[in-house]
A = this chain, B = another copy of it.
Amino acid sequence: MAQWRQLIDDAYRGQVTEPIMNVDDSRGTHFDAIFLGGGSAGRFGAAVLRSLGGRALVLERWPFLGGSCPHQACVPHHLFSEAAKELDQAQALAGRLWYGKFDPAAASVLELVELFRGQRSGSHAHMNWQSAGQLDIEYIVNTEAIAADARTVRAAGRTFTADALVLCTGSCTAMPGIAGESLPGVFDYASFIEDLDYEPSRIVVIGGSKVAVEYASFYRATGTPTAIVSRGPMLSTGGPGRMDDDLRRFVIDGMRARDVELLEHSTVTRIAGRDRVEAVEITTPDGPRRIEADFVLIATGEKPNVEGFVEALPVARDADGFVAVNSRMQTSIPGVYAAGDLLGPPLEMFKSRRSGTTAARNIMGTDSEFHYADIPDFLHTTYEVCWAGLGEREARQAFGQVVTIQVPPPDLAPGETPLPMAEGSMIYGFTRPERTGFQKCVIDARSRRVVGVHHAGYGAKDAFQYLHYLISRPGGLTIDDLGDMNELYLSPDYFIGYARLRSGQAELTSM
């Protein structure tokens, strides 16, 4: 593992320029499938293809498998969001219990980025190690790969052929074309990780979706003044998962209470500065404004990475340029599949992985479909925020008669009860009860089925994977099924216990 880390670090610094090969040359250069890109889609696809008895080759330009997630995206985001949670608590409890005075100078964005940059090859090494040892995948990393045709790829100075090709080259930020966006001090999520070399003192985040909310919450939690400029209302992007209105309100009110400046319905007209960013000029509903800033994060959306294949393989693409596939992950060119962020939003790990494995199964002759119209979802502020199924409003539209289980109950003022409390919100329950969280379970009163679950707090994200499965499977999950489960009390979600309180009711009522 230590050798892998060293090799990856050296290669990433440019000290190893030759490709890093894990290929069994004795078996020739023909494969059942070649995965163009070694992120989660390629790696998981190759693993399953191998499991099904096929021979897979993964080609990756970075010196490691796993893609942008452990390098620039999910892993740093989770590190920063955990830091945000801890910093938020350190500020809220400053001078109480064992918490000392909060020193904003000690909380450094740069230090956390440097910590991540310095250690990220730990998980990269794990991916290379696991892919070779546990998953028996053949791969070449630290190499550019170019598709020559639907069965031929050139990489590492060699030519490889396959019965099928899976495109999984990912995506990157689509810069919005704002004047000044290329000034030093303007970053996206990737360059923020790669290039930051100073401590920001005033921050503007451009965008209103998850990435904007997550990074702004982190920056603010370090004590740095932070504004978000969003064209529409925050977190209104909709998409397949539907966040309940009350959950959204709890999340946004929580950000406001922590002095994140939220400028909704506002447009950036210019990023101003001479040698580097000095301010962001915006149009707000109240007129023009200029916000001083020495750091700007662009979080307005993604575009696909098509350079490695688009010339040889002009696959059909959607209006935003993302590759179009059917539910078997087949592109418009026979034998060519696509998977991962190349397919466009939602840019989520399970979609990358499952689209990769769906392609692999079809390539190996197992008919397999993957649909992602209904997905569980989450984001971080200083809370973990999770949702699956329908919000209350959407459920009323769909079912008419709907009951809800809500904690804190709708008729109490914030902080009037310390509930919900569980791991991560216990200390708040006894010191700052308005901060413990919010949860809502939405039930179709007629069928008694749970049709939506919504949670802001801590410790429920893992459960939402299974809750989503349970409420989405045929037959679904009724309030009575839920009430007959065995909760692990105090549970981060109170759904089981509260469902039990109502499970005998002939005419369900809300609580």
CA distance in complex: A459, B384 (Å): 10
- The 7 A-B pairs of least Cβ separation, nearest first, read A349-B489, A51-B504, A466-B466, A462-B463, A82-B426, A350-B486, A51-B505
Q: Is the CB of B465 within 8 A of A488?
A: yes
Main secondary structure of the interface of A (DSSP, over half): helix
| Total number of A residues with any Cβ neighbor in B under 8 Å | 110
Q: Does A204 contact B (CB under 8 A)?
A: no
Q: Does A328 contact B (CB under 8 A)?
A: no
Which residues in A have some Cβ–Cβ distance to B below 8 Å? 1-2, 44, 47-49, 51-53, 69, 74-75, 78-79, 81-83, 85-87, 89-90, 97-98, 100, 103, 106-108, 111-112, 115-116, 119, 122-123, 125-126, 129-130, 134-135, 348-351, 353-354, 357, 360-361, 364, 366, 372, 375-378, 384, 386, 409, 412, 416-419, 421-424, 426-427, 429-431, 433, 458-470, 483-493, 496-497, 500-506, 511
Most chain B CB inside 10 Å of its own CB: which residue of A134, A375, A376: A134
Q: Is the CB of B423 within 8 A of A115?
A: no
Known: A79-B427, A82-B423, A423-B458. A487 touches B501 (CB 8 A): no
The residue on B at minimum CB distance from A2 is B416
Find A135's partner among B53, B116, B501 (CB 8 Å cutoff): B501
A-B contact list, 18 entries, CB within 8 Å: A44-B500, A74-B489, A75-B490, A78-B490, A86-B89, A115-B431, A122-B417, A122-B433, A123-B417, A134-B409, A135-B501, A349-B487, A353-B497, A384-B423, A459-B461, A462-B488, A462-B491, A468-B485
The residue on B at minimum CB distance from A372 is B486
Find A418's partner among B123, B412, B431, B433 (CB 8 Å cutoff): B123
Q: Is the CB of B429 within 8 A of A79?
A: yes
Q: Which residues in B have their C-beta under 8 angstroms from that of A90? A: 98
CA distance in complex: A1, B412 (Å): 9
The residue on B at minimum CB distance from A43 is B501
Most chain B CB inside 10 Å of its own CB: which residue of A49, A422, A467, A469: A469
CA distance in complex: A170, B43 (Å): 54
Find A126's partner among B83, B134, B417, B491 (CB 8 Å cutoff): B417
CA distance in complex: A53, B505 (Å): 8
CA distance in complex: A348, B488 (Å): 8
CA distance in complex: A372, B485 (Å): 11
A410 smallest CB distance to B (angstroms): 11
Q: Is the CB of B97 within 8 A of A488?
A: no
